[in-house]
């Protein structure tokens, strides 16, 4: 009982063994970090003194690793230690810091191979600028991870700006080896990191709400036989390799969700290249204005090179617009894995080659296109047949279910699309797919559906996955247009999903003006609906088409009702 009471007393008094150690480069030597007046003057000394659970509060300023006195100099963060930047030097609570106003910079001075080395699991780094690492040495630690390097560890990196780091691979962050728990990279900005991919990981990782801009080569490389997630992140103005290169092993799972890829140029994929093996999902994302420059392999959007029949890629609720490449400007599918495309819109993509402006499918793995619009894509051959929208190679198998594909069923050179159920080639009636500037892939594009679109309430709810709640512009999915007959598959859900990545949010005007409640039938309750419209001056009140709501519209409603629809 005495031991239990003692433990409780320690918890109540906060004596858990964890300390806050403060660091101020202008402090007098000999401090122990217990207060700002007794702060460490060296970040190296504070890290050496820290124990698991300790917090290091680091005052604004520039810190350069000096130990050891060679290019191997690095800040070694022990296991379980939490490193926070953004302090002015008078705070009594961590919440008072402001990293934007009081920048704290860890600078490699274009000399250190790795600015920060993670020394054990559960370390945390939050609120720093990490810049000018130069991993041009030899070996793993010497050539990878110029900003942050970890081997067989899990770490949390949060609110960090990675700028101007250079390495053979993982120029900003490299996490390799094995780790039982996932690392987290959250609210970080990657700018102008060059040579190898900015982030290279083979341990489990979740990357959340990060931005990647002006990366000299690839943004992220995912490796290993583990689970990776990239969520809510933006990739813009990138050049070099694939923006995200998924180069994983059997047993891996990757999820890319809610991301935006804009104005990137890549030798392979402007957005994502899948290579190797595993199970993969790309959903709820926008891929616009990207370019793949390689004639043999490139795509402005996604390249699928999954090798084995057991591999699979699901692309769901994604907008592809204004992307360019030699072939397969939005999606390029090769090799043996299974590809499923659900609830997507591919519009205004351009293939320099003769075919496959929307999709190019040349691999042996089966492809299903469901609830998807592929329309208004332009191939260099100007063939005006199915090959312009989707090129199907001689060994490929492509089926379309409840989709709208321009030129569907037209002449094909080799294979062709099998329209399983209720697919058609009709104009989907976009509002303004290339926007006011008449250029696809720019911010003013509006590929939403207009009233009367054949895509409205025509999809199959059974295809919609459990992680799709909105369309790609953030509007609610499963909106019932009472002015359009339901021709899709409900699957137990009251409203039927639209075809494509954008859900129509309005009501298609009825051709039967006397049907004032919009239920598709003429019945006495339409009179009650007209009275309601009259009393509230609603558009349904105007039955004679003069643009006004007047008592004379009652007589017009009687005439329209008696005439039927």
pLDDT the model gives residue 240: 77
What percent of the chain has pLDDT above 70?
95
* Dist. CA 362–CA 335, nearest whole Å: 7
pLDDT the model gives residue 389: 94
3 band by pLDDT with thresholds 50, 70 and 90:
very low
pLDDT digits (tens, 9 = 90+) for 418-458: 777 889 999 999 999 999 999 999 999 999 999 889 999 99
**In the predicted model, what is the mean pLDDT of residues 466-475?**
97
Choose among 266, 284, 275: nearest CA to 230. Answer: 284
pLDDT digits (tens, 9 = 90+) for 392-412: 998 899 999 999 999 998 644
* Dist. CA 345–CA 494, nearest whole Å: 23
5 band by pLDDT with thresholds 50, 70 and 90:
very low
pLDDT the model gives residue 15: 37
pLDDT digits (tens, 9 = 90+) for 117-161: 999 999 999 999 999 999 987 666 678 899 999 999 999 999 999
Strands 446-449 and 430-432: antiparallel
Q: Measuring CA to CA, how many Å separate 50 from each of 19, 21, 104, 223, 403?
A: 8, 8, 19, 32, 60
**In the predicted model, what is the mean pLDDT of residues 60-69?**
94
Which tops the pLDDT comparison, 64 or 168?
Answer: 64
Choose among 298, 305, 241, 300: nearest CA to 275. Answer: 305
Which tops the pLDDT comparison, 494 or 45?
Answer: 45
Which tops the pLDDT comparison, 319 or 382?
Answer: 319
Highest mean pLDDT among 68-72, 175-179, 256-260, 509-513: 256-260
pLDDT the model gives residue 156: 98
pLDDT at 267 over 70: yes
pLDDT the model gives residue 10: 35
Q: What share of the chain is helix, strand, coil (3-state, %, to 5)?
A: 10, 35, 55
Q: Measuring CA to CA, how many Å separate 348 from each of 83, 325, 480?
A: 47, 12, 27
- Residue pair 177/203 in contact (Cβ under 8 Å)? The answer is yes
328 band by pLDDT with thresholds 50, 70 and 90:
very high
């Amino acid at each position: 009982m005495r031991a239990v009471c003692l433990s409780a007393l320690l918890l109540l008094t906060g004596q858990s063994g964890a300390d806050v150690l403060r660091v101020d480069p202008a402090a007098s030597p000999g401090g122990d970090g217990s207060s700002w007046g007794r702060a460490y003057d060296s970040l190296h000394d504070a890290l050496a003194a820290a124990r698991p659970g300790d917090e290091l509060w680091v005052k604004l300023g520039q810190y350069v690793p000096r130990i050891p006195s060679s290019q191997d100099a690095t800040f070694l963060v022990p296991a379980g230690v939490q490193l926070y930047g953004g302090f002015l030097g008078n705070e009594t609570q961590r919440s008072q810091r402001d990293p934007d106003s009081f920048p704290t910079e860890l600078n490699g001075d274009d000399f250190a191979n790795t600015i920060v080395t993670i020394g054990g699991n559960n370390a945390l780094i939050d609120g720093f600028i990490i810049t000018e690492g130069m991993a041009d040495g030899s070996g793993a630690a010497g050539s990878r991870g110029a900003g942050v390097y970890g081997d067989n560890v899990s770490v949390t990196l949060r609110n960090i700006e990675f700028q101007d780091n250079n390495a053979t691979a993982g120029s900003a962050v490299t996490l390799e080896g094995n780790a039982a728990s996932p690392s987290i990279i959250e609210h970080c900005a990657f700018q102008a990191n060059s040579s190898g991919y900015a982030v290279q990981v083979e341990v489990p990782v979740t990357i959340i709400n990060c931005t990647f801009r002006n990366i000299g080569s690839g943004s992220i490389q995912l490796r290993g036989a583990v689970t990776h997630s990239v969520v809510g992140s933006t990739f813009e103005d990138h050049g070099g390799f694939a923006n995200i290169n998924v180069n994983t092993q059997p047993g891996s799972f990757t999820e890319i969700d809610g991301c935006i890829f804009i104005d990137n140029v890549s030798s392979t994929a402007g957005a994502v290249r899948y290579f190797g093996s595993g199970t993969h999902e790309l959903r709820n994302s926008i891929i616009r204005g990207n370019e793949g420059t390689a004639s043999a392999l490139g795509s402005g959007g996604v390249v699928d090179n999954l090798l084995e029949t057991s591999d699979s890629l699901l692309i769901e609720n994604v907008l592809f617009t204004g992307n360019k490449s030699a072939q397969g400007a939005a999606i390029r599918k090769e090799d043996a894995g299974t590809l499923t495309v659900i609830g997507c819109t591919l519009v205004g993509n351009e293939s320099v080659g003769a075919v496959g402006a929307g999709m190019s499918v040349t691999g042996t793995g089966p492809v299903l296109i469901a609830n998807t619009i592929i329309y208004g894509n332009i191939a260099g051959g100007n063939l005006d047949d199915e090959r312009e929208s989707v090129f199907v190679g001689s060994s490929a198998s492509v089926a379309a279910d409840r989709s709208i594909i321009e030129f569907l069923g037209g002449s094909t050179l080799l294979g062709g699309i099998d329209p399983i159920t209720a697919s058609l080639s009709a104009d989907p009636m976009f509002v303004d797919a290339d926007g006011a500037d008449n250029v696809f892939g720019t911010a003013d594009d509006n590929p939403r559906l207009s009233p009367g679109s054949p895509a409205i309430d025509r999809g199959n709810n059974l295809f919609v996955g459990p992680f799709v709640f909105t369309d790609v512009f953030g509007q609610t999915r499963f909106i019932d247009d009472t002015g359009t007959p339901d021709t899709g598959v409900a699957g137990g859900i009251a409203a039927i999903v639209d075809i494509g990545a954008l859900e129509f949010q309005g009501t298609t005007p009825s051709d039967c003006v006397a049907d004032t409640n919009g239920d598709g039938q003429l019945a006495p309750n339409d009179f009650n609906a007209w009275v309601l419209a009259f009393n509230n001056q609603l558009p349904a009140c105007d039955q004679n088409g003069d643009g006004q709501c007047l008592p004379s519209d009652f007589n017009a409603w009687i005439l329209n009702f008696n005439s039927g629809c």
